Amino acid sequence: MSSLVLVEDAEGIRTIRFNRPDKKNALTREMYAAAAEALESGDTEQSIKVFIITGTDGIFTAGNDIGDFMERPPHVGGGDMPPVERFMRALLEVKKPVVAAVDGLAIGIGVTLLMHCDIVYCSDRATFKTPFVDLALAPEFGSSQVMPQMFGHAVAADLLMLGATWDANRALQTGLVTGVHSADDLAGAAHFAASVMAAKAPGSMRAAKALMRTPPEDLSDRISREGGMFAELLRSEEFAEAAAAFMERRLPDFSRFG
């Protein structure tokens, strides 16, 4: 495992940490491959319930390593899947919840990847920038679709076309992040959120995520889709445990479920 990406498992939470602070955690092919492997394997390991993606003190990531890019330009969607695509597809496809904790700089793919996380916390000193047009490049990995959906076209254009830098308040106001914490409290807040989700029924958590990540459809179709999952979950061992815990006035214990 690469020391530039640290992977730590504890109490059902897999933390994936970009760890290249001397290069502002700029992401290389090796780092993408390590992070992809951590997501892919964690998604199939029963003991892992939640992922945290984070960086180091004061720096989430300065985005793609520009030297790496120039040396071997990836062709995403071009067939032979480059590590950056493997990582982003893994992030898009993991069934378990992902919490991101952003302290300091998030640039380029460091912002794009947040679109595919579930809970995003940042520190009050975090900044967000997607300088694709500044670099004579284009938006990536769905951000040209997801950002206008999330923020509306005019606000998304502030990031994707004007290349503005957003601070933590702007990120919170636009809905890019779930919450803002002091730099000292950020890791604790992310860990708390992850442990709350790790204690919940994993099948139900996967169902909620899958529904929320399903592309927009006719509302009537969505109601039927939800109804099918609801009915299936009503027959599950997880629901039996939740109902028994309610009747017995105790906390449910979902730890035996994967």
Chain contacts with ligand COA (rule: CB under 6 A): 23-24, 26, 62-67, 105, 107-108, 131, 135
Q: How far is the CB of 143 from ligand COA (least distance, A)?
A: 12
Judge contact between 186 and 103, C-beta under 8 A: yes
Q: How far is the CB of 22 from ligand COA (least distance, A)?
A: 6
- Which residue's CB is nearer to ligand COA, number 26 or number 159? 26
- Which residue's CB is nearer to ligand COA, number 37 or number 65? 65
Return the closest-CA partner of residue 24 out of 117, 124, 108: 108
Please report, for residues 54, 64, 84, 87, 100, the alpha-carbon distance to residue 74 in angstroms, rounded to integers and kept in the order given: 24, 11, 8, 13, 25
- Which residue's CB is nearer to ligand COA, number 131 or number 142? 131
- Which residue's CB is nearer to ligand COA, number 75 or number 213? 75
Q: How far is the CB of 154 from ligand COA (least distance, A)?
A: 23
Q: How far is the CB of 226 from ligand COA (least distance, A)?
A: 38
- Which residue's CB is nearer to ligand COA, number 38 or number 59? 59
Q: How far is the CB of 101 from ligand COA (least distance, A)?
A: 18
Q: How far is the CB of 88 from ligand COA (least distance, A)?
A: 13
- Which residue's CB is nearer to ligand COA, number 24 or number 181? 24
- Which residue's CB is nearer to ligand COA, number 135 or number 150? 135
DSSP of the chain? --TTEEEEEETTEEEEEE--GGGTTPBPHHHHHHHHHHHHHHHH-TT--EEEEE-BTTEEE--B-HHHHHHS---TTSSS--HHHHHHHHHHH--S-EEEEE-SEEETHHHHGGGG-SEEEEETT-EEE--TTTTT----TTHHHHHHHHH-HHHHHHHHTS-PPEEHHHHHHHTS-SEEE-HHHHHHHHHHHHHHHHTS-HHHHHHHHHHHHSPP--HHHHHHHHHHHHHHHHTSHHHHHHHHHHHTTS----TT--
Q: How far is the CB of 109 from ligand COA (least distance, A)?
A: 7
